Amino acid sequence: MDAPSDDQRKKRKKGLPKGRQITPDALQYVQRILGDQPRDGSLLIEFLHRIQDDQGHLSSANLAALAHELKLSQAEVYEVASFYHHFEIVKEDDKSPAQYTVRVCGSIACEMAGSEALFNQLEKNLGSAVRIVHAPCMGACDKAPVASMGKHQFPHCSVEDIGKAAESDAVTPIIPDYESVDAYGERGGYETLKKLRAGSLAGSDILEELEAAGLRGMGGAGFPVARKWKFLEGSEKPRTLVVNADEGEPGTFKDRLCLEDQPHQFLEGTLIAAHTVEAGDVYIYLRDEYPHIHEILSREIAALEESSISLPVRLHLRRGAGAYICGEETALLESLEGKRGLPRNRPPYPAQKGLYGRPTLINNVETLHWVSLIMQNGAQWYLDQGQPRFYSVSGRVKNPGVVRAPSGTTARQLIEEHCGGMADGERFTAYLPGGASGGILPAALADVPLDFGTLEEHGCFVGSAAVVVFSDLDDMRSVARNLIGFFEDESCGQCTPCRIGCEKLLTLMAGEEWDGDLMRDLAGTMRDASICGLGQAAPNPVLSTLKFFLEDKL
């Protein structure tokens, strides 16, 4: 054991306790930044954001003061802060951090658009002025390559764009035009909610209409919505509704469109759901890569609360902090409670014991968007439209973006009828039908309907309908490495099959020669033994690459 230092000896002589001490300046600062907010440990992540937004980093002194103010252990505060990508912890002996941190997206769409070259250029030209880091998908794959700084996202960005913003301190979010509460009301918005509140429409009527429409959850699992809501029937109160607005699947950006274009279409669907399941509180968990949407929702929730519309619930808007695992519903609940986003073992299920131990319904943004549309137009309208959904299309197409199309639309239809065809001079070779975890399919299977239950025979699934298109310019080994690298980085580390499995897959994929039998064996272990869907689905890109692109070469 090392001999005690001079500082330690001095503390012992003065009778001071071991460990990091709370400095008066840091405590005063934390008290000021928290203001009159309740000192509730479940708000830990919100408070970490406040400090990070104000100073650009989290100092050890401020973390210690925050722990003291919230009556939490310093270890607990540190482990939460260090779990999430968007918190930068600076220790006492570290150099003063750069004023700004630039995050360069390395997702598959941005990689194809040249994000690594952009990263290198930024380091070369701006490295002394800002901190440059790699980042996972930012939900703007149609605008690749993308980077962010502070609360500003740079689509199709260049070194010049970011340099000018840093020089001018222009790092506030750009707010797009969107439909206000008044504009939404003028076209019949909130009429369903008003009928529910007045008693002329019952919750059972809502369930019958959604069941007749055949609406399924659009977050990836595709579970029938009405049946999921019924799970809360007879459960104890209070109940809670949680909205998963943390779409982090590489290639997915459909929820962004719903929220930044028609926020009240989503909000009414949310309030209809809350009234139907008799939830007293709604928590909207929004991914931190969407600061402009946070501003939109903050404004419009306030406007809604000040309007004449009688709300059945209390609305709470919460920020994620850069952790893909929090898209898993129980990890999301842990994060909302101010903890690390570690998935829970089930049972109990959220409908039995969810947020703060209450029976909890969890739905994603697009699902609730369709709830209000179906109630406005009727179940038959939805069926006549082909049970439409949103497809996020990015990659080697002329016009990437969000496409509204009937369920079962094919990749070929999306490319040729909605996205202007392939980029000039490129030949369609492969695509992701459901984001990073949905597997990879060759162009020969581009006419398979993209819907729930249609892709499983090929070892894939539609998931969140994130379609990323590849051409003859892309090496599928490199594509698979990018996707597995994402899962390796985003694994929460709680279970060994996922934590070590992703790492070992990357090692096995490093060379040109792949050991297919060993990879399949490892993938089977990950699928069978991982706690949550991340580890279970992570091997899909490797298995697809082996099956469709390398079988004849192994």
Do both 312 and 233 map to the same domain? yes
Q: How far apart are CA 492 and CA 508, in angstroms?
A: 21
The answer on 511 and 423 residing in a single domain is no
Q: How confident is the model at residue 554 (pLDDT cuts 50, 70, 90)?
A: very low
Which pLDDT score is estimated for 14? 55
Question: Within 13 Å and on the Cβ side, how many CA atoms surround 391?
Answer: 30
Q: Is residue 4 in some structural domain?
A: no
Whether residue 327 sits in one domain with residue 190 = yes
Residue finishing a domain among 90, 114, 149: 90
Q: 268: pLDDT confidence band, cut at 50, 70 and 90?
A: very high
pLDDT for 511 equals 86
Question: Which residues are paired to 361 by β-bridges?
Answer: 241
Range of the domain at 135: 100-168
User: Structure pTM?
Assistant: 0.94
Query: What pLDDT, in 10s, does the model give residues 224-267?
Result: 999 999 999 999 999 999 999 999 999 999 999 999 999 999 99
- Kindly report the CATH number assigned to the domain that includes residue 213: 3.40.50.11540
Of 168, 191, 221, the position where a domain reaches its end is 168
Main-chain phi, psi angles of 324, to 5 degrees: -60, -35
The answer to whether residues 32 and 62 belong to one domain is yes
**How many structural domains are present in the chain?**
5
279, 337: one domain: yes
The Cα–Cα gap between 340 and 345 comes to 15
Same domain, 330 and 419: no
Output the domain CATH number for residue 527. Answer: 1.20.1440.230
On whether both 185 and 45 belong to a single domain, the answer is no
Other beta carbons less than 10 A from residue 475's beta carbon:
11
In a domain, 461, yes or no: yes
How many Å apart are CA 257 and CA 400, to the nearest integer?
A: 13
pLDDT of 8 reads 57
**In the chain, % of residues over pLDDT 90:** 85
Question: Does residue 1 belong to any structural domain of this protein?
Answer: no
pLDDT digits (tens, 9 = 90+) for 303-361: 999 999 989 899 999 999 999 999 999 999 999 999 999 999 999 999 999 999 999 99
Q: Note the residue count of the chain.
A: 554
**Which pLDDT value is given to residue 10?**
56
Write the pLDDT tens digit of every residue in 453-485. Answer: 999 999 999 999 999 999 999 999 999 999 999
Beta strands per DSSP E along 341-425? 360-364, 388-395, 401-406
**pLDDT of 137 strictly over 60:** yes
Q: What is the pLDDT of residue 3?
A: 61
Please report whether residue 228 resides in a domain.
yes
Q: In terms of Cα–Cα distance, which of 444, 437, 451 is closest to 502?
A: 437
Q: Average the pLDDT over 108-134 and give the result.
A: 91
Q: Measured in Å, how far apart are the chain's first and last C-alpha atoms?
A: 54
Task: Using the 3D structure, point to which of 351, 380, 409 is the last residue of a domain.
Answer: 380
Do 235 and 374 belong to one domain?
Answer: yes
Query: What residue ranges in 35-167 does DSSP mark as E strands?
Result: 58-59, 89-90, 100-105, 130-135, 147-149, 152-154
* DSSP string computed for 165-194: HHHHT--SPPPPP---HHHHHHTTTTHHHH
Does residue 95 sit within a domain? Answer: no
Residue reference for tokens 């929820």? 255
**Burial environment of residue 164 by CB neighbours within 10 A (0 to 12, 13 to 18, 19 or more):** exposed
Same domain, 163 and 105: yes
For residues 159 and 266, state if they share a domain: no
pLDDT tens figures, 12-50: 555 555 667 899 999 999 999 999 999 999 999 999 999
pLDDT of residue 166: 75
pLDDT confidence of residue 9: 57
Q: What is the per-residue pLDDT for 157?
A: 87
CATH number (domain holding residue 141) = 3.40.30.10
